[in-house]
Structure 1
Amino acid sequence: MIGEYIKTADWKAEKHVPVIECPGQVHAGAPFVVTVAVGREIPHPNEPGHHIAWAALYFIPEGTSAAVEVARTDFAAHGETVRTTPTFSATIAIARPGTLYATAYCNLHGLWTSEHPVTLGA
């Protein structure tokens, strides 16, 4: 299974882990911003030989087993004149609680993931 090849770690100690930044509790149907950032605590290199190529955000509603792809972005500039920082934001609204998952791909070190549960408030 592919799961054994997707790595995870504490983002404060590992530069490859995508960090999910958003409220832990939101209101059903109300838009909120989710930011995914790789290298938040320890910057990740962004050069042709070592870079984050893409990152994606998924949501799995509680009580289901189907992941919904929310957003995905490619980081294409890794040269001397222009470089990207592997960070993106999406504004989303959810109807029920669940878990956000972020995945990022490093061209040298493969797939990395993290998760962030989101509950609904009154």
Structure 2
Amino acid sequence: MTKKFGDLIYTPETASGEAISKVETHTPRIEAPEQVKAGEPFYIKVAVGPHPNTVQHSIRWVEVYFQEEGRPFNPVLLARVVFEPEYAEPDITLKVVLKKSGVIHAVEYCNLHGLWEGRKEIKVI
């Protein structure tokens, strides 16, 4: 059966079967303020794991998106970071400036367990 691409992304809410045991080690964790001032820089940290970091099993990349309130076409890609197994860990920090409230989405790719998403709402005042 053919699925939409979005249906292939695991989240803590949609994981079932064997994927339930992977939620803690694969869902990107987003650390960011709940509320920020419009136009003022702040930091977002995205981390995955603990997770193996071998050529055979590792997180290969993380993408960070912003779904902006009121924007006709979403999301905006903020960053894509590719990790070399055994050398780079899936832990990144971004300096971001927002003008409107919305949701940060982080998607990571594990070469064995697929795509996983975490998200966090941010209110802009």
Letter in 1 for 2:78: V
**Structure with the largest fraction of helix:** 2
**1:93 match:** 97
Q: CA deviation at 1:91?
A: 0.2
Task: Report if the CA contact (8 A) 2:65-2:104 is conserved.
Answer: yes
**1:58 match:** 65
User: 1:1-122, aligned counterparts within 5 Å?
Assistant: 1-9=4-12, 14-39=24-49, 43-64=50-71, 65-78=73-86, 83-121=87-125
TM-score scaled by structure 1? 0.87
In the aligned structure 2, how far is the partner of 1:29 from the partner of 1:45?
A: 38
Q: What is the number of residues matched between the two proteins?
A: 113
Letter in 1 for 2:69: E
Identity of aligned residues (%): 40
TM-score scaled by structure 2? 0.85
Write out the 4+ residue segments of structure 1 that deviate beyond 2 Å after TM superposition.
Answer: none
In the aligned structure 2, how far is the partner of 1:71 from the partner of 1:33?
A: 13
Over aligned residues, Cα RMSD in angstroms?
1.6
**2:19 match:** none
Q: Where in structure 2 are there 5+ consecutive unaligned residues?
A: 14-22
**SS at structure 1 position matched to 2:39:** coil
Q: CA deviation at 1:85?
A: 1.4
**SS at structure 2 position matched to 1:3:** helix
Task: Give a deviation string over 1:58-88, Cα, whole Å, max 9, x none.
Answer: 001112341000011010132xxxx321111
